[in-house]
Amino acid sequence: MELLEGIESRRSTRGFTGQAVTQETIRKILHAANRSPSFTNSQPWEVAVVVGSKRDELSKILYDLAASGTPSSAEMPYPKSWPQAIAERTKIHGARRFEALGVARDDSLRREEIRLANFKFFNAPCALFFLMDKSLGDWSTMDMGIFIQTLSLAAHGLGLGTCMQASLSNYPQAVRTFLNIPENMKLMVGMSLGYPDESAALNSYKSAREDADSFTRWY
Ligand SMILES: Cc1cc2nc3c(=O)[nH]c(=O)nc-3n(C[C@H](O)[C@H](O)[C@H](O)COP(=O)(O)O)c2cc1C
């Protein structure tokens, strides 16, 4: 796949076939992501790859926490408010997503089902958790984002789909305990990885973008 075509055609996948991803393929993707640039080549990233019965068990732990209404204790706090224009975009995103799925505004049951699908990894056979040392700051957070997008594009180039998921960072202690990850590692975000199920309803939605001219100042 040509680079620009890959960048333009990547989108979040929220329905997977369940077909296993081989360890060789996952290694290939991690190898490509590892070429990401980082501040003074600090390479702050660590990745937990969770498949098979471990994936199923962790999914159940996170699902049960989410379904029982356990409040998020994410270590990268959710924004409390947005500047108005951005708030508008997030609202439109939410509304369009539910509209594409034919879910009514007051259908709280279906909306909750969709939220909880996050914790089933949207049926993906592989879940990734991205971690960095708790002492690191904003520059490393930027590096993590670059790494995660590169990984996502590498996966896409191999015919796989990904969904970056802040929701998978809601219960960091549960993830650390289950995966035996040291306390000093901060859980940044999670990701579902697998082969896209093109027929899945959750994949019917395509996100929009502002025109590039709207965020560019030319001098
Ligand atoms: C940091 C981050 C966190 C996200 N968290 C979630 C999430 O928890 N659940 C989800 O379904 N999508 C999540 N997304 C996906 C975004 O909703 C998606 O990237 C955005 O709507 C644009 O759509 P696209 O990725 O298909 O282009 C997240 C994306 C990012 C970058």
Give the DSSP letter of residue 171: -
Q: What is the widest separation between alpha-carbon atoms in the chain?
A: 55
| pLDDT for res 87 | 94
Pick the residue whose CA is nearest to atom 22 on ligand 1.
Answer: 207
Q: Cβ(14)–Cβ(201) under 8 Å?
A: no
For 2-20, how does the pLDDT look when each residue is reduced to its tens digit (9 = 90+)?
A: 999 999 999 999 999 989 9
| pLDDT for res 175 | 98
- 212 has a pLDDT exceeding 90: yes
| pLDDT for res 100 | 85
Ligand 1 touching residue 166 (CB < 6 A): yes
Pick the residue whose CA is nearest to atom 21 on ligand 1.
Answer: 207
| pLDDT for res 189 | 98
Tokens of 154: 């590498």
| pLDDT for res 62 | 98
Which of 12, 78, 168, 189 is the best mutation target for the ligand 1 pocket, counting ligand atoms within 8 Å of the beta carbon and taking the most? 12
| pLDDT for res 105 | 86
Q: How many whole angstroms separate alpha carbon 13 and alpha carbon 148?
A: 15
For 85-140, how does the pLDDT look when each residue is reduced to its tens digit (9 = 90+)?
A: 999 999 999 899 898 888 998 999 999 999 999 999 999 999 999 999 999 999 99
| pLDDT for res 1 | 80
Helix, strand or coil for residue 2? coil
**Burial tier of 24 (Cβ tally within 10 Å: 0-12, 13-18, 19+):** exposed
For 52-94, how does the pLDDT look when each residue is reduced to its tens digit (9 = 90+)?
A: 999 999 999 999 999 999 999 999 988 899 999 999 999 999 8
Tell me what the mean pLDDT of segment 37-60 comes to: 98
Instruction: Report the atom number in ligand 1 closest to the C-alpha of 11.
Output: 26
For 130-188, how does the pLDDT look when each residue is reduced to its tens digit (9 = 90+)?
A: 999 999 999 999 999 999 999 999 999 999 999 999 999 999 999 999 999 999 999 99
Cα 17 to ligand 1 centre (Å) = 19
Ligand 1 touching residue 156 (CB < 6 A): no
Q: What is the mean pLDDT of the chain?
A: 96
Pick the residue whose CA is nearest to atom 29 on ligand 1.
Answer: 164
Instruction: Report the atom number in ligand 1 closest to the C-alpha of 14.
Output: 11
Ligand 1 touching residue 163 (CB < 6 A): yes
At position 154, the amino acid (one-letter code) is: A
| pLDDT for res 77 | 86
Q: Cβ(13)–Cβ(203) under 8 Å?
A: yes
What one-character-per-residue DSSP string does 133-165 give?
ETT--HHHHHHHHHHHHHHHHHHHHTT-EEEEE
| pLDDT for res 18 | 85
Per-domain boundaries in the chain? 3-77+117-205
Considering the domain 3-77+117-205 in this protein, what is its CATH number?
3.40.109.10
Pick the residue whose CA is nearest to atom 31 on ligand 1.
Answer: 164
Pick the residue whose CA is nearest to atom 9 on ligand 1.
Answer: 165
